[in-house]
Structure 1
Amino acid sequence: MPEAEGEAVPAKPSKRKLIFIGGAVAAFLLLIGGLWITGILPRMLGERPPPKVTGPVYVKIPEIVANLDVPNGQDSYVKLEATIELADQKSAKIATADMPRIVDVFQTYLRAMRPGELRGASGTYRLREALIDRVEVATAPAVVKDILFQELIVQ
């Protein structure tokens, strides 16, 4: 159809203008992506990265040999190799720094025990619970989850 004299024909945008706009959008997206990858944009928006989930941390206790309390004067010893299970790395650092205190607490407690108190599953369970309580006190504010026995020999 022929165009009427008074009608306005929409002008086609020039290719140069389209290239300029496309380049500006691409540069903007690259800038935003770079800020996001470097972590600047999340900090600006107040977003925090998710906390790192860590499992338990284990700290080995040096081998302990202690004489037990025997009323008739005979010699009786206990040999203990154990590992402390702690909640996190911060607790592990505290326990490692307090290791001399932990060893002292273990030896003092073991020297007050009699050989019969350490025998059987119930004796091992009671020993574990008593040592956990003592380690929690010695290493506060560390979070002690468990004590794992590698070796427990009563002679």
Structure 2
Amino acid sequence: MAQMDTALDAPAKKSPLPLIIGAVLMLLFGAGTFYTLYSGLLFGSGKPKEKVAESAAHPGITYVALDPLIISLGSKAPRHLRFSAQLEVPQAYQQEVESLKPRVADVLNSYLRAVDVGELENANALIRMRAQMLRRIQVVTGEGRVRDLLIIEFVLN
């Protein structure tokens, strides 16, 4: 009778099946969520990708190439930045923006010389600097004349 009491007192061994099923469902849910967000099914459809392609091929847009700039940086060790870019411009303003290229080069040269070398080395800083440069270019050229700044070359030695 003593043996029966110990068999009843011992807790029953739990099955790992609910834990495995939960883990598999969690992975499936995570993968489904990732796909839904990544493909744009939740916050957008596949159609905006087509609109982007259409706007990139818009016939009213032209590009104005800026002359490459080589900017000396820092006073301790001689370092240089090689920078080249193009401006996205409506065709109606192409000649006007091309005539202002020396002013644009001056603004870019002044801005890039003032930026700290440590910030130039930071990969995430290029996005902020691009926005700053675009804003300065838009001030020089006038509102609505330059739509975007496309950085072609940004090499720091």
Q: TM-score range, shorter-chain basis?
A: 0.5 to 0.7
Shift of 1:116: 1.5
Task: Write the distance in 1 (CA, Å) between the matches of 2:156 and 2:149.
Answer: 18
3-state SS of 2:60 partner: coil
The answer as to 2:64 corresponding to 1:66 is: no
The answer as to 2:109 corresponding to 1:104 is: no
Shift of 1:113: 1.2
Picking from 38, 48, 60, the partner of 1:55 is: 60
3-state SS of 1:121 partner: coil
Matched with 1:76 is 79
Rg (Cα) greater in structure: 1
3-state SS of 2:84 partner: strand
Letter in structure 1 aligned against 2:64? V
Deviating beyond 4 angstroms after TM superposition, the runs of 4 or more aligned structure 1 residues are none
Letter in structure 1 aligned against 2:142? A
Shift of 1:119: 2.4
Letter in structure 2 aligned against 1:121? A
Matched with 1:127 is 129
Task: Write the distance in 2 (CA, Å) between the matches of 1:55 and 1:115.
Answer: 38
Shift of 1:120: 3.7
CA RMSD of aligned residues (A): 1.7
Q: Percent identity?
A: 28
- The aligned length equals 100
Letter in structure 1 aligned against 2:68? E
- 1:97-138 CA deviation, whole Å, 9 max, x = no partner? 100100100111111112221224321111210110010011
Alignment of 1:4-153 (within 5 A): 54-68=59-73, 70=74, 73-86=76-89, 88-153=90-155
Cα 1:142/1:95, change in 2 over 3 Å: farther
Task: Write the distance in 2 (CA, Å) between the matches of 1:100 and 1:142.
Answer: 19
Structure with the largest fraction of helix: 2
